[in-house]
Amino acid sequence: MLLRSLLTAGAVVAFTGGAAAQADLDARIAREMPSLLSTYKQLHQTPELSEHEEKTSAFIAGELRALGFTVTEHLGRYANPAQPGYGVAGVLKNGPGPTVLFRAELDALPVVEETGLPYASTVTTTNADGQKVGVMHACGHDIHMTSFIGSARILAADKAEWSGTLIMLGQPAEETGTGAAALLRDNLYQRVGQPNYVLSVHDLSDGEAGLIGYAPGFAMANIDAVDITVRGVGGHGAMPDHTKDPIVLSAQIVMALQTIVSREISPLDPTVITVGSIHGGAKRNVIPDDVKMQLTVRTYKKEIREKVLAAIARTAKGLADAAGVPADRLPIVTVSATEHNDALYNDPALTKRLAAVWEKALGKDHVRQIDPQMVSEDVGALGLDGKIPVLQFRVGVVAPEQVKASIASGTPLPALHSSRFAPVPEPTLTASIKATTVAILDLLRR
């Protein structure tokens, strides 16, 4: 009832002059907020690592079930078949129309929280390597889940306002890049239905709370994990002529890899090659047999990804050849099959449509096109390689005065994954719930 005037004659028309409808939606969100704030703090204090989201998943399942969603739990099949899946999907069928899937991530990070907040996490656990680690929602997935619950409550209560099918998906293991793939491997869409649209929200660590940001087209990058073992022929540090030194060769390879970006790839195709780890040798006067390097490679387009990966292997092997390394000792270059995320491509038409909806619902001052980034997200995989339009929008989480102070002083704000990342719950949650709700209502309008 209360949202009817938002939607009659098409949302875009209704929003104009729909001050009463706006006030209704605002009042509705405000009514839910005390309970949502306590949910947020509870989620923040009980974070779970990727692939271990057991309690979080059960909590989301309970919330969705109470709202009348048909819930499927334990979704996700990992490369390791012994690893349980904690994906959860709630389906609400509400007459004819398209299907919208809204996804939130369930997992947290191995970070010791240093925000000093009264509801800071003190959780510790043991990681896969047997080390004791802190656990923190340092990427704001607790904000996403709380917003997800808020929108689910409003949409489930106001079924007269929309027609179609709503799938609310709690995705495990976003931070390890394994969750979306695990859900698809477990036949997610055969089990809960294939959506016509995939939406999700992510916080923006340098955006003002209340701001909605969007980036049409490529918004986040393909990520590849490349390992290079540079092999030489070891020997005495004082007799280099008797060796093939893999340390000197590795230094040449590190520098030459940057030339791939600057000389082989168009400047209009953003590409990053970072050698984040390099290890070789144990003593100053011993030339070792090998050096190991770990790279992260970021690209947008598929063809650029393939070109860059081929150039990395060619460069490493070509330089080894030039150094006179024997043919059976050339570098071993491997690209991980599992540590990979596809780029996030925000469907431009969907982005344009929803940006207009948000401008009407939140006001032009609170909606902004933002720059794409070379970080990575696995929500794009849920679009099945471009078959289903995907849009991940962003929500600012920082008090406006802090954003101003950061710009004035040049001191960056705590980024995502920082131990000091502390989103302000309000008006972040209100903006996120409002943007999510009006987006879904527009896609499922009667």
Amino acid identity for residue 266 in this structure:
S
Quote the least distance from Cβ 402 to Zn ion, whole Å.
20
Quote the least distance from Cβ 171 to Zn ion, whole Å.
11
For Zn ion, give the closer residue by CB, 331 or 383: 383
Quote the least distance from Cβ 306 to Zn ion, whole Å.
26
155 backbone dihedrals φ, ψ, rounded to 5°: -70, -35
Quote the least distance from Cβ 140 to Zn ion, whole Å.
6
Quote the least distance from Cβ 428 to Zn ion, whole Å.
14
Strand partners, 351: none
Helix, strand, or coil (residue 180) = helix
Name which of 99, 28, 23, 101 is nearest 361 in CA terms. Answer: 23
**Structural tokens at position 322:** 């030039």
Q: Which of the 8 DSSP states describes residue 175?
A: T
Give the Cα separation of 367 and 378 in Å (integer).
Answer: 24
For Zn ion, give the closer residue by CB, 32 or 48: 48
Q: Does 343 bind Zn ion (CB under 5 A)?
A: no
Q: Does 223 bind Zn ion (CB under 5 A)?
A: no
Q: Which of the 8 DSSP states describes residue 159?
A: G
Amino acid identity for residue 435 in this structure:
A
Strand partners, 291: 230, 280
For Zn ion, give the closer residue by CB, 154 or 397: 397
DSSP string across 42-59: HHHHS--BTT--HHHHHH
For Zn ion, give the closer residue by CB, 139 or 441: 139
Centroid of chain to Cα 381? 11
Q: Residue number with the shortest CB distance to Zn ion? A: 139
For Zn ion, give the closer residue by CB, 87 or 288: 87
- CA 425, 426, 430, 435 dihedral sign is negative
Size of the site for Zn ion (CB under 5 A): 1
Quote the least distance from Cβ 202 to Zn ion, whole Å.
6
Give the Cα separation of 20 and 27 in Å (integer).
Answer: 10
Kindly write out the interface string for residues 108-147 of this chain, putting x where it contacts Zn ion by CB under 5 A and - elsewhere. -------------------------------x--------
Quote the least distance from Cβ 278 to Zn ion, whole Å.
25
Quote the least distance from Cβ 378 to Zn ion, whole Å.
10
Name which of 116, 87, 113, 91 is nearest 101 in CA terms. Answer: 91
Q: Which of the 8 DSSP states describes residue 359?
A: H
For Zn ion, give the closer residue by CB, 99 or 418: 418
For Zn ion, give the closer residue by CB, 140 or 331: 140
Q: Which of the 8 DSSP states describes residue 263?
A: I
For Zn ion, give the closer residue by CB, 3 or 139: 139
Q: Which residues bind Zn ion (CB under 5 A)?
A: 139
